[in-house]
Amino acid sequence: AQKITQTQPGMFVQEKEAVTLDCTYDTSDPSYGLFWYKQPSSGEMIFLIYQGSYDQQNATEGRYSLNFQKARKSANLVISASQLGDSAMYFCVDQFYFGTGTSLTVIP
């Protein structure tokens, strides 16, 4: 059964601004990990960031960071200083299952 929920089918952000993409998850496994992947229109799947359930701090990778709230079962992706090349589909993923994705468009 689908365990990942992304409620934003499409998002727009102005270039150089920050944007938050939402993800909630449902698992009874005490040890889990959550991933975010980016899929540009070219189709390749690009790993962005990972958060483990036991990690004490929110994950950060360059302009990408995770707002991880265990009690709310949310793992929102924050992209700072958006660039035109950030326009793509973004997927939140647990071990096997992808969310439905959010299409992000960066406006010049």
Partner 1 sequence: ETGVTQSPTHLIKTRGQQVTLRCSSQSGHNTVSWYQQALGQGPQFIFQYYREEENGRGNFPPRFSGLQFPNYSSELNVNALELDDSALYLCASSPRTENEKLFFGSGTQLSVL
Select 80 or 95, whichever has its Cβ closest to partner 1.
95
Q: How many residues at the interface with partner 1, by CB under 8 A?
A: 20
Map residues 54-93 to x or -, x wherever contact with partner 1 holds by CB under 8 A.
-------------------------------------x-x
Residues 4-63 close enough to bind partner 1 by CB under 8 A? 31-33, 35, 37, 43-45, 47, 50, 52
Select 79 or 93, whichever has its Cβ closest to partner 1.
93
Q: Would you call 42 helix, strand, or coil by DSSP?
A: coil
Residue 49 vs residues 1, 16, 61, 91, 93: alpha-carbon distances, Å: 24, 20, 6, 11, 10
Tell me the two tokens of residue 75. Answer: 């793992």
